[in-house]
Structure 1
Amino acid sequence: MNILITSAGRRVSLVKAFQKELKTLIPEGKVMTTDFNISLSSACRVSDGAFQLPLVTDSDYLNLLINVCLQNNIKLIIPTIDTELLLLAQNKQLLIKNGITPIVASHDFINICRDKRQMSSFFIENNIKVAKEYSKYDYKLPLFIKPFNGSRSVDTFIINSHEDLTEYHFKNENLMFLEYLDHSKYEEFTCDLYYDKNHYLKSVVPRQRIEVRDGEVNKGITKRNVLVDYIKEHLSYIDGAIGCLTAQFFKHLSKDKIYGIEINARFGGGFPLAYAAGANYPKWIIEEYLFNKDIAFYDAWEDNLLMLRYDNEVLVHDYKE
């Protein structure tokens, strides 16, 4: 029984984590990958087999994906980018009929995660504070501007004065004007959450974001703080959530104030820190979906584990295009 990590790109650590856990439980098991250009994907180079697929927007993508799975005894699909999630969720029953289980949340919950305004409503319904959204004609400085449907910190702006605002900010209907949460007063955390197949929370690992590069944590540290109990209280069950979710929160340095920012319904780029700390989400996915085991709540991960990322190389000899 094999696993497929799609759009693997440079997620070498995630591939290696699944390889380690799968081979422990199923020695002959393989962790395979797909990408738009497998020859230039470091994760595809270290996986047990790689398959080139078109972009997820291609009309033949799903059929090609299913064929890859059927021809290679792939039983689980682990998506890694937002654009795949809706397609996999919409076609989940078709995949299951073919003996393939995509580890993907429900269509409805993914739609919430993909729309920052719906996400704000979701947080409010769960008694979690959110940054106020202003009208573009009635706002207070400083502002934080971001797209309601964006990712990877693209098109985000901190506005300190009226001179920083441009026609682009006002005319772009995708951009939201939000209350700015001052980084000198708030700490920013990404929390890796694990939800079992019945949508119950089984683990919370807050990672403080010390430094971010291209929207992904470059330096981070695990922190066993109030966010663990806070998330257990407010998000112990999320209808439609399964597997790894990545949730972002701001926590005030001195006051009892926590703001929900967003949730991504997939593994985040900084998950290797939570895995290194002992939160073994790859193992739990394998146990739940290939061995039908129940997952107990896990809270014994390593506190204050610091991750300092650096660039490394995957060398390919005699490479030909």
Structure 2
Amino acid sequence: MNILLTSAGRRTYMVDYFKKALNGNGKVFAANSHFSPALNVADDYVITPLIYDENYISFLLEYVKKKDIHAIIPLFDIDLPILAKSKDLFKKNGVIVIVSDYEVTQICNDKWKSYNFLVQNGFNTPSTYVDLKKAKNAVEKGFLDFPVVVKPRWGMGSIGIYKADNLLELEVFYQKVKKEIEDSYLQFESRAELEQAVLVQEWVNGQEYGLDIFNDLEGRHLKTFVKIKTAMRSGETDSAITENHTELQNLGKKLSEKMKHIGNMDSDWFLTEDKIYILEMNCRFGGGYPFTHLAGANLPKVLVDLLNFNSYEQEDLNFEDGLKMMKTIRPLKIVEK
């Protein structure tokens, strides 16, 4: 079995994990719109058109046919809805795209839709406003207190996230985030509703947790993995401690059953003195997954086994409690293929 990781970027570890999962019975290919570290460690790679290029899907389809690739796993939020729309096309050509349904990717990528989905399904989530006037009105009436978070509605990583402590900062940061959206790749997601592309959100002060909520290929919950985030860097978890937290595990299962996503979902949660809040969801392998993997779980192998045998080994969902971990920086020598 050959697997293609799209928008692979710097995620060399995901290439390594899938290589080990295949155990010599297939190759791991990596794709990106420019040369990146993950391409350097893959068995083979390809430079693709930009995700929003009209030829992106046809390019990938031709490539997977040429390389006899059996499954595609996207690793970047913007890639998810594009590939989700084309799942049936790839399936007709014998290729499984491990991505959630289009509607699910929209709920996760659009933080305003995320907010409404979570409220409608009974989850605690920070109060959120998509209209600056309504946010200011909420402040004046005492429904929203400073500080507040100003961030992109279609946001990824740490782009354009600011903490505003008063009305003046709220006005300034709102315009600044809007400008950063227009000047970055976030413009592609936001351009249809640019006047409602910035969110104002309640500030939640508490301990941050990261959950990997893992489903099978039919959207059935298999297990939720809980990690305390002890340090962050550029929007990704930099160090973490695993924890057997029953309440969060149950909430992860509840979210899985409501969302019915495919494969892994990376999600951010906050624990305050009296509540558990969910902040965001990303229906893909996130930057915190390596900690789940180091703690004993092997979700790439589970996916490979599900693709090959429609079953998996329970031991690949093991998870060690109380394990402290952190990321490091490793230089790579570029290898010409």
- TM-score w.r.t. the length of structure 1 is 0.90
1:148 corresponds to 2:145: no
1:227 corresponds to 2:248: yes
CA offset at residue 129 of structure 1? 0.7
1:34 corresponds to 2:31: yes
Contact 2:136-2:167 at 8 Å conserved across structures: no
Question: Percent same amino acid at aligned positions?
Answer: 31
Q: Please give the per-residue CA displacement for 1:137-195, whole angstroms capped at 9, x wherever unaligned.
A: 2222111111221111211111123342334516943222211112xxx1111111111
Give the aligned partner of residue 78 of structure 1: 73
The amino acid that maps onto 2:203 is Y
CA offset at residue 235 of structure 1? 2.2
Distance 1:267 1:119 in 2: 18
Give the aligned partner of residue 161 of structure 1: 166
Distance 1:192 1:198 in 2: 17
Give the aligned partner of residue 302 of structure 1: 320
Give the aligned partner of residue 179 of structure 1: 202
Give the aligned partner of residue 136 of structure 1: 135
State the secondary structure of the residue aligned to 1:137: helix
Distance 1:168 1:210 in 2: 27
Unaligned runs of 5+ in 1: none
**Stretch of structure 1 that moved more, 265-274 or 153-162:** 153-162
CA RMSD across the alignment: 2.1
Distance 1:203 1:132 in 2: 28
**Stretch of structure 1 that moved more, 56-65 or 169-178:** 169-178
Contact 1:136-1:170 at 8 Å conserved across structures: no
Give the aligned partner of residue 6 of structure 1: 6
Distance 2:302 2:318 in 1: 15
CA offset at residue 298 of structure 1? 7.4
Q: Please give the per-residue CA displacement for 1:191-235, whole angstroms capped at 9, x wherever unaligned.
A: 111111221211111122221111111112212113112323x22
Mapping for residues 1-321 of structure 1, pairs under 5 Å: 1-23=1-23, 27-38=24-35, 41-134=36-129, 135-138=134-137, 139=139, 140-167=145-172, 169=174, 172=178, 173-182=196-205, 186-225=206-245, 226-232=247-253, 234-252=254-272, 254-255=273-274, 257-293=275-311, 300-316=318-334
CA offset at residue 296 of structure 1? 5.9
CA offset at residue 126 of structure 1? 2.4
Higher helix share: 2
Contact 2:98-2:217 at 8 Å conserved across structures: no
Distance 1:207 1:143 in 2: 25
The amino acid that maps onto 1:175 is V
- TM-score w.r.t. the length of structure 2 is 0.86
Distance 1:190 1:63 in 2: 35
State the secondary structure of the residue aligned to 1:169: helix
The amino acid that maps onto 1:136 is A
CA offset at residue 238 of structure 1? 3.5
The amino acid that maps onto 2:233 is R
Q: Say if 1:295 and 1:129 are closer, same or farther in 2 by CA, change over 3 A.
A: farther
CA offset at residue 295 of structure 1? 7.1
CA offset at residue 299 of structure 1? 6.0
Q: Say if 1:56 and 1:67 are closer, same or farther in 2 by CA, change over 3 A.
A: same
